[in-house]
Structure 1
Amino acid sequence: MTDTTPEPAGALRRRGFLRGAALGVGTVGAVTGAGAAAAALTGTAQAATPTPKEPAAPPADFHGVHQAGIVQPAQKCTAFLSYDVTAADRRELTELLRSVTDRARFLTTGGTPAALGITAPPSDSGTLGPQVPGDGLTVTVGVGSSLFDGRFGLADRKPLRLSPMPTFPDDDLDPAWCHGDLSVQVSAAHTDTVLHAVRDIARHTRGGMQVRWRIDGFTSPPRPSGTQRNHLGFKDGISNPEVTDPAVADKLLWVTGGGEPQWAQGGSYQVVRVIRMLVEFWDRVSVTEQERMFGRSKATGAPLDGSGEFDAPKFAQDPTGDVIPLDSHIRMANPRTTQSEGSRILRRGYNYDLGTDSDGNLDMGLIFTCYQQDVVRQFEAVQKRLAGEPLVDYITPFGGGYFFALPGVRDRNDWLGRALLA
Structure 2
Amino acid sequence: MQDDEKSHDRNAPASPARRRLLLGAGVGAIAAAGATMMPQDASALSNESVTNAPESDTTAQRHSFYGLHQPGIVTPRPAAGMVASFDVLARDREQLEQLLRTLTERIAFLMHGGKAPELDPKFPPPDSGILGPEIVPDNLTVTAALGSSLFDDRFGLKPMKPKHLTRMQGFPNDALEKDLCHGDLVLQFCSNTPDTNIHALRDIVKNTPGLMLLRWKQEGSVPVQPPDKAKESARNFLGFRDGSANPDPADETLMNRIVWVQPDSDEPAWAAQGSYQVVRIIRNFVERWDRTPLQEQETIFGRRKASGAPFDGRTETDVPDYAADPEGKVTPLDAHIRLANRRDAEAQKHLILRRPFNYSNGISKSGQLEMGLLFIAFQADLEKGFITVQNRLNGEPLEEYIKPVGGGFFFALPGVKDEQDFLGRTLLEASGPQNARKA
> TM-score when scaled to structure 2?
0.83
1:405 aligns to 2:412 (yes or no): yes
Indicate the residue corresponding to 2:205 in structure 1: 202
Q: What are the equivalent positions in structure 2 for 1:53-72 lying under 5 Å apart?
A: 53-55=55-57, 56-72=59-75
Give the CA deviation at 1:243: 3.0
Q: What are the equivalent positions in structure 2 for 1:311-326 lying under 5 Å apart?
A: 311-326=318-333
CA distance in 2, matches of 1:375, 1:134: 32
Aligned equivalent of 1:143, options 146, 162, 167: 146
Aligned equivalent of 2:248, options 239, 242, 250: 242
Percent identity of paired positions between Structure 1 and Structure 2: 48
CA distance in 1, matches of 2:47, 2:299: 58
Indicate the residue corresponding to 1:129 in structure 2: 132
Indicate the residue corresponding to 1:233 in structure 2: 239
1:348 aligns to 2:355 (yes or no): yes
List per-residue Cα deviations over 1:334-392 (Å, max 9, x = no partner).
01111111100000110000010111111110000000000001111101111110000
Q: Is there any run of 5+ residues in structure 1 with no aligned partner, and where? A: 1-37, 39-45
Q: What are the equivalent positions in structure 2 for 1:172-187 lying under 5 Å apart?
A: 172-187=175-190
Is this contact kept in 2: 1:297–1:303, CA < 8 A?
yes
Query: Which sits farther off after the overlay, 215-224 or 356-365?
Result: 215-224
CA distance in 1, matches of 2:48, 2:265: 64
Indicate the residue corresponding to 2:335 in structure 1: 328
CA distance change for structure 1 residues 197 and 305 in 2, over 3 Å: closer, same or farther? same
CA distance in 1, matches of 2:365, 2:180: 17
Q: Which amino acid aligns with 1:297?
A: R
Structure of higher CA gyration radius = 1
CA distance in 1, matches of 2:60, 2:217: 25
CA distance in 1, matches of 2:182, 2:428: 21
Give the CA deviation at 1:51: 6.3
Aligned equivalent of 2:83, options 72, 80, 84: 80
Give the CA deviation at 1:116: 2.1
Give the CA deviation at 1:171: 1.1
CA distance in 2, matches of 1:52, 1:154: 47
Give the CA deviation at 1:303: 0.5
1:252 aligns to 2:254 (yes or no): no
1:99 aligns to 2:106 (yes or no): no
Q: Which amino acid aligns with 1:240?
A: N
Q: Which amino acid aligns with 2:56?
A: E
Indicate the residue corresponding to 1:111 in structure 2: 114
> TM-score when scaled to structure 1?
0.87
CA distance change for structure 1 residues 241 and 52 in 2, over 3 Å: closer, same or farther? closer
Indicate the residue corresponding to 1:43 in structure 2: none
List per-residue Cα deviations over 1:89-122 (Å, max 9, x = no partner).
1111111111111110000000012222343322
Q: Which amino acid aligns with 1:372?
A: Q
1:221 aligns to 2:224 (yes or no): yes
CA distance in 2, matches of 1:81, 1:93: 18
CA distance in 2, matches of 1:51, 1:404: 38
CA distance change for structure 1 residues 292 and 419 in 2, over 3 Å: closer, same or farther? same
1:153 aligns to 2:156 (yes or no): yes
Is this contact kept in 2: 1:243–1:253, CA < 8 A?
no
Q: What are the equivalent positions in structure 2 for 1:22-37 lying under 5 Å apart?
A: none
Q: Which amino acid aligns with 2:243?
A: G
Q: Which amino acid aligns with 2:423?
A: L
What is the alpha-carbon root mean square deviation over aligned residues?
1.7
Q: Which amino acid aligns with 2:411?
A: F
Q: Is there any run of 5+ residues in structure 2 with no aligned partner, and where? A: 1-30, 32-45, 430-439
Indicate the residue corresponding to 2:394 in structure 1: 387
CA distance in 1, matches of 2:200, 2:191: 10
